[in-house]
Structure 1
Amino acid sequence: MAITDWPTDERPREKLLARGAEALSDAELLAIFLRTGQQGMTAVDLARKQLTAGGGLRSLLDSSPEVMARLPGMGTARRALLLAALELGRRYLAAPLERGLPLDNPDKAGQLLTARLRGLPYEVFACLFLDNKHRLIAYEQLFQGTIDAAAVYPREVLRRAMEHNAAAVILAHNHPSGVAEPSRSDHAITRRLVEALGLVDIRVLDHLVIGDGGWVSLAARGAL
């Protein structure tokens, strides 16, 4: 049976418009992107097949374009549409990272950095540069590594902070494993950066480790 033969209130697109996106299953939401199925299966059937092959929604959406291309029924047009939607979502979540935003609440920084860094398949070290009232000057991703490490150079962080005339910084990096627990090396690089930036009176307000379930604040752990 084609989706067009389903009761109107059960078709994914109509169901979304009538009940809201939260009423749809993962397969139904994905089916809206796919629009059509394949011979002998509806778009929802195809979406379920892709979710199974991709290891679930999170794994599918976090996969590289090359891996995504190997999913059943995921042609170039569908892949481009899905990747564009993912990037729109990321940009929407990160839109508050605008110059002049006061980061007076630790949760605010955590939410913004999580929107940028969570789910990346490689490690990224980033920095929020702040003025003396803790308003955002700039956000930069300074270093990118492999799946389990990123080389961080204090001299480069110091150089960028001085170029931005920053009075304070918030450091952050993600753990591709999804586990946000700080490692020994995370504590070590934090101490090195606190010392290097402190030489020119630039404060390190926090270092956030981003994982799948949220973030861990080294400042809250008393590690700064």
Structure 2
Amino acid sequence: MNQQPISIKDVPKEERPRERLLTLGPRHLSNQDLLAILLGSGTKSESVMQLANRVLMHFDGLKLLTNAAIEELTAIKGIGEVKGVTLLAAIELGKRMNQYKPRDRYVIRSPEDGAEYVMEEMRQLTQEHFVILFLDTKNQITHQETIFIGTLNASVVHPREIFSQAVRRSAASIVAVHNHPSGVPTPSQEDISVTRRIAEAGKVIGIELLDHIIIGDRKFVSLKEKGYI
């Protein structure tokens, strides 16, 4: 007779994540508990809690799980296609909820405002993304556009491309943003050079570069505050 997989029902009732979520609320559950609920069952040789713990250890907690591919998930013993798809769907839903912006236009009053607007969207990207926020006369964001993906340098980030979009969208000013996948937002000499080129072009056209913000992992640097604009 084939042995059945160990499910959450095999865990003592007072330790079951689902029951504890209903009693205490989701905020009181650990990452392992929440992952176990999504997985639903363990394997023939381990409980769902043990499987959840093994998945977290494989991905160094949640740090790498956010960018996991289906092939990497299903390569883990005990994670089939169904469980892998469930995890990917939950991860993507979490990302979209983090990136959700209110319908009212977002106003940029400070570097902190600009950083907060894009932080969750950009801090975990594995490649550099150069993004422009287009603002109206009230400093409200009217549009966001990724101009370039890849290593930032002056030869590939052309002010004419940025300002042609700004003119087309009737922007009064812009904020440039890019991320450092390392998580460290310290500006490079190339970052400074690109910033100055864009700022100079903006003065000629009459569309001000308000700031260039570099996004790290939950931290940022404003090149305006550093005196480079």
Q: For residue 217 of structure 2, what is the aligned residue in structure 1? A: 212
Q: CA–CA distance in 2 between the matches of 1:69 and 1:188?
A: 44
Q: Using the alignment, how far apart are the partners of 2:227 and 2:187 within structure 1?
A: 12
Q: How far apart, in 1, do the equivalents of 2:189 and 2:122 lie? A: 20
- Whole-Å separation in 2 of the counterparts to 1:39 and 1:64: 25
Between 42-51 and 82-91, report the one with greater CA deviation.
82-91
* 1:107 alignment counterpart: 112
1:94 paired to 2:94: no
- Report the identity percentage: 37
Tell me the distance in 2 between the aligned counterparts of 1:124 and 1:97. 23
1:106 is displaced (CA, Å) by 3.1
Taking the aligned partners of 1:72 and 1:110, their CA distance within structure 2 comes to 39
Runs (5+) with no aligned partner, structure 1: none
Structure 2 residues without counterparts, runs of 5 or longer: 1-5
Q: 1:26 to 1:160 in 2, by over 3 A?
A: same
Residues 50-89 of structure 1 correspond to what in structure 2 (within 5 A)?
50-89=55-94
- 1:144 to 1:71, Cα distance in 2 relative to 1, 3 A: farther
Hey, what's the Cα distance between the residues in 2 that align with 1:3 and 1:65? Answer: 23
Which of 41, 46, 50 is the matching residue for 1:41?
46
Match of 2:22 among 5, 10, 17: 17
**With structure 1 as the length reference, what TM-score do the two structures score?**
0.88
- CA RMSD across the alignment: 2.1
**Residues 153-164 of structure 1: pairs in structure 2 closer than 5 A:** 153-164=158-169
Provide the C-alpha distance between the structure 2 equivalents of 1:2 and 1:213, rounded to a whole number of angstroms: 37
Whether 1:181 and 2:181 are equivalent positions in the alignment is no
Q: 2: distance between equivalents of 1:17 and 1:142? A: 45
Counterpart residue number, 1:127: 132
Q: Is the 8 A contact 2:32 2:53 kept in 1?
A: yes
Q: 2:172 aligns with which of 152, 167, 173?
A: 167
Say if 2:223 is the partner of 1:222: no
1:87 Cα deviation (Å)? Answer: 2.5
Partner of 2:122: 117
3-state SS of 1:126 partner: strand
CA distance in 1, matches of 2:202, 2:225: 20
Q: Deviations over 1:167-209 (max 9, x none)?
A: 1111111111111111111111111111112211111111111
Q: How many positions carry a matched residue from both structures?
A: 222
8 A contact 1:174–1:210 mirrored in 2:
yes
Report the secondary structure of 1:207's partner residue: strand
The structure with the largest alpha-carbon Rg is: 2
